[in-house]
Structure 1
Amino acid sequence: MTFKLDVFEGPLDLLMHLISKNKVSIDDIPIALILDQYLSYLETMRSLDIEVTSDFIVMAAQLILIKSRMLLPKPEKAEEDDPRRELVQRLEEYRLFKLAAAWLGKKTSLLGELVTKDAEPLPGKPEYTRRHTQDELLGALIRMAAAREVQEQPLPPVFTELVGRESETIEDAAQRVIALLKGMRRISVTDLLAETGSRRAAIAAFLALLELCRDSVVCIDETECAALVAEDEEIKTEIS
């Protein structure tokens, strides 16, 4: 004859098993019933020459103490203090830890099925070595303004100025420059900036060119100070 005895990780695990087996609530444990079954399990372990660890014995003593306290008469008008309260808290914490352990175990098994690959270094763009002086940048802006011969519009009335005038942002100008580069093979800075409609838009476009050079979207041709060439693979356009 084969006799199988369930193995539990500790006294709380055994208590949770007995509570589930008897279909009772953790918040209202029938101590007498659970204690009898708990002691019966320990006796079975002894009969099978299985060592009963000290934590099981300590829990048995605590259950007996709780049972004896529940049998004592309660003083009248005294605040009711359930002797099972501390045990209930420990069982609730243990139940939550068991759920968390099961969830982590499931996640660990899923991670074991994943195959990872080390990141590969991205190819870097060639470093732009040309260092332009302030005079070069200022000269390009002055030549652009002179070629366009932009006539400044008269100042609006005070109340109109309070409302504000629409102006192109550097981000908008950058998008417009990129769109223009995609449609032309080569264009001079002067002609590029001449496409703008106002001095503010021209300045925004000029600053956008500098931003695009800094971000390596376009770069200035070192052979010609005022020339730019697009580095983006999709553009393939040069500005001279």
Structure 2
Amino acid sequence: QYMEQIELMRENEMDIASEFLEMASRLVYIKSAMLLPKYEDEAEDLKKELTGQLIEYQQCREIARMLAPMVDFDTFTKTPSKVEFDLTYNRIHDPMDISAAYVSAVGRGQRKLPPDRSAFAGIVSKKIVSVSSRIIHVMRRLWHGRTVTYKELFEAGSGRSELVATFLAVLELVKGKRVRIEGDGDEAIVHMIEK
């Protein structure tokens, strides 16, 4: 229904209809003002205004009719004109502004540089221990049916990275059913599972 109304409005050309209604209401207002003696002066002014607009409209139409054969927008083209640009920098700046801009630019440049090696000292300088190396270490300790306490596996650890890797290695071995942990706390014993 909405689309039907849109099509109907297009067919009726609502812009033209609205202009027609506006002009009709204006004429009715002028006519009613002319009939009332109280508003005769106002009606005369409105009539003169409307007459002037109609004369102006008629003159515009006449001029447009005369100019129409002379102008053809499809045939007249203008090639772009070459413009020489003056690239000389002519502005004058306060020396302090230039100094501040330089300091700011240098600071931005330094921020884009990679960080100094000392920034990574806490990460890179520490020994990185892989979980696979600790799995091999635990399996060697348990070779030939030996048993060790859970606590003994961590006694030789020299750093946090090695301790964490050992813990993860024991978890992987338990998950893979290669070792078993029996007992609780410090008394827990780790031994290999016979296959």
Q: TM-score range by the shorter chain?
A: 0.3 to 0.5
In terms of fraction of residues, the more helix-rich structure is 2
TM-score under structure 2 length normalisation:
0.34
